[in-house]
Amino acid sequence: DQQVKQNSPSLSVQEGRISILNCDYTNSMFDYFLWYKKYPAEGPTFLISISSIKDKNEDGRFTVFLNKSAKHLSLHIVPSQPGDSAVYFCAASGGGSQGNLIFGKGTKLSVKP
C-alpha cells in the first residue's frame, strides 16, 4: 500500500527543454513534501520542499507545484541540463508519522545533450 507514488519509472528529455516529474499521494494528512535527487553510488540530496500551506515553491531552475485537492505534486526543471540526469525521489511527511518520511520509488531522469 504505497502512500507516495511516482508512476513514471523513467523520463527522457532534451537539453534545454522542461522536465516535469510527477508524484501522487494518498494520505491527506501529509503536510510537507520534498524532492530529493540521487546520483549512482551516492546518497540522496535534498533539492526543494513545499509546505501544504503553499501551492508553489521556486528555487532557481526548480519549481515544485502542489495540488492538495488532487493529492498531486510535480517538480519542474527548466531549462534541463545533462547534469540533472539522476533519480528523483518524491517524499512526504506528516499525518502522525513522526519520524517516517515516506518516499516514492523514484523517477530516473535522463537529459540528452
Partner 1 sequence: GAGVSQSPSNKVTEKGKDVELRCDPISGHTALYWYRQSLGQGLEFLIYFQGNSAPDKSGLPSDRFSAERTGGSVSTLTIQRTQQEDSAVYLCASSYRDMSAPLHFGNGTRLTVT
What residues line the site for partner 1 (CB under 8 A)?
4, 6, 32, 34, 36, 41-46, 49, 89, 91, 93, 97-106
User: E-assigned strands of 3-106?
Assistant: 4-5, 10-14, 19-25, 30-38, 45-51, 56-59, 62-67, 72-77, 86-94, 97-103
- If you ran DSSP here, which 8-state letter would residue 1 be given? -
Cα 2-51-92 angle, rounded to 5 deg: 20
Shorter beta-carbon distance to partner 1: residue 79 or 95 = 95
For the CB of residue 66, give the shortest distance to partner 1 in the complex, in Å: 16
For the CB of residue 93, give the shortest distance to partner 1 in the complex, in Å: 4
For the CB of residue 51, give the shortest distance to partner 1 in the complex, in Å: 9
Shorter beta-carbon distance to partner 1: residue 42 or 70 = 42
